[in-house]
């Protein structure tokens, strides 16, 4: 359930209240006339079940609330109310499967910034993976996958492609390319430094590495894993199942592939660097493709559900 706080222009307040009153998924409606000061207007509070939230938000935006007032939404972790139970029963669909598109767009949009924290995380993750590659240690590879922040821009890219947001697409691509380039350059430098210190050698890269050689030997299964990870990752994001996202992060070889590109390039082993680069491209492409297709299916599902129940289409 979401809690909505709406600042409504006075001349549209009654229309907004009528909309919320007739919506089956809305409950706990309260109206405070003239309570809002900046911007001025009536303050309207209500709770809405997640399966109705997207339609309600879309209707409020169609009334121009965001232009002259404002809409804020936050999750309600606990609701003890018979009225809320009735609202959930009346609303079509399941709250666990509901997609609130504005929420997803806001959440992923925050992850497209090429910030200092993002750069540090992806650089550290890639350097850890680089050491894991040389030591043939899957534990380090898994740790690097979890630390890597690249799924945020990937998810944002999927949402932006669906919603045709060119600005977000540009920022997402910039975060991905800039982040991976910075991480690979840093890993090349760290590999040279570790080699100079006598901690790693080129022979470690050229030796048999049965536990991690999949990183630079892509095959058809690389596409399969990337596609499945894209589906699982997007579902974990849209359904707020963050625990599932950890499993997604340790199932694809984006950061490890970038690390292997850097380590192999540091030693001039270009065939291995090329294989790792191909693995990276395959995984990134598969995740974006599967994520976009997942969003399209979810959009079609909720659009059909809204149409059958005579409610505004979502998406």
Write down the pLDDT at residue 310.
Answer: 53
Write down the pLDDT at residue 289.
Answer: 94
Distance, in Å, from the CA atom of 313 to the CA atom of 89, rounded to the nearest integer, reads: 20
Residue with tokens 């993976």: 129
Mean per-residue pLDDT pooled into runs of 10, the chain (315 residues): 92 92 90 92 92 86 89 88 86 70 78 86 94 92 87 89 89 93 97 95 92 87 88 80 52 85 95 94 93 89 66 43
Is there a contact between 149 and 156 (Cβ–Cβ < 8 Å)? no
Give SS3 for 29: strand
Write down the pLDDT at residue 212.
Answer: 86
Write down the pLDDT at residue 250.
Answer: 54
Taking alpha carbons only, the member of 123, 136, 139, 224 closest to residue 181 is: 123
Write down the pLDDT at residue 233.
Answer: 83
Distance, in Å, from the CA atom of 179 to the CA atom of 278, rounded to the nearest integer, reads: 17
Model pTM above 0.85: no
Distance, in Å, from the CA atom of 268 to the CA atom of 273, rounded to the nearest integer, reads: 8
The upper half-sphere exposure of residue 138, i.e. CA atoms within 13 Å in the direction of its Cβ, equals: 9
């Amino acid at each position: 359930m979401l809690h909505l706080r709406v600042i409504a222009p006075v001349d549209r307040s009654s229309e907004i209240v009528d909309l919320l009153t007739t919506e089956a998924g809305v409950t706990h409606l309260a109206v405070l006339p003239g309570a809002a000061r900046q911007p001025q207007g009536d303050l309207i509070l209500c709770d809405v079940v997640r399966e109705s939230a997207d339609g309600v938000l879309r209707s409020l935006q169609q009334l121009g609330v965001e232009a002259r007032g404002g809409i804020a939404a936050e999750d309600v972790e606990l609701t003890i109310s018979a009225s809320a139970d009735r609202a959930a029963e009346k609303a079509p669909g399941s709250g666990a499967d509901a997609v609130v598109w504005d929420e997803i767009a806001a959440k992923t949009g925050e992850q497209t910034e090429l910030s200092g924290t993002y750069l540090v995380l992806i650089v550290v993750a890639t350097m850890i993976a680089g050491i894991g590659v040389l030591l043939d240690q899957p534990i380090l590879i898994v740790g690097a996958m979890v630390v890597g922040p690249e799924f945020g821009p990937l998810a944002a890219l999927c949402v932006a492609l669906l919603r045709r947001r060119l600005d977000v697409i540009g920022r997402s691509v910039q975060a991905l390319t800039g982040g991976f380039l910075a991480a690979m350059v840093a890993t090349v430098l760290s590999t040279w430094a570790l080699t100079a210190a006598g901690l790693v050698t080129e022979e470690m890269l050229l030796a048999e590495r049965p536990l991690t050689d999949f990183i630079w030997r892509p095959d058809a299964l690389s596409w399969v894993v990337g596609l499945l990870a894209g589906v699982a990752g997007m579902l974990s994001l849209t359904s707020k199942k963050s625990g599932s996202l950890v499993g997604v992060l340790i199932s694809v070889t984006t950061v490890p592939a970038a690390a292997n590109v850097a380590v192999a390039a540091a030693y001039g082993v270009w065939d291995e660097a090329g294989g790792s680069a191909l693995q990276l491209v395959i995984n990134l492409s598969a995740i974006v493709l599967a994520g976009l297709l997942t969003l399209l299916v979810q959009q079609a599902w909720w659009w059909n559900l809204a149409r059958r129940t005579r409610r505004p289409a979502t998406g």
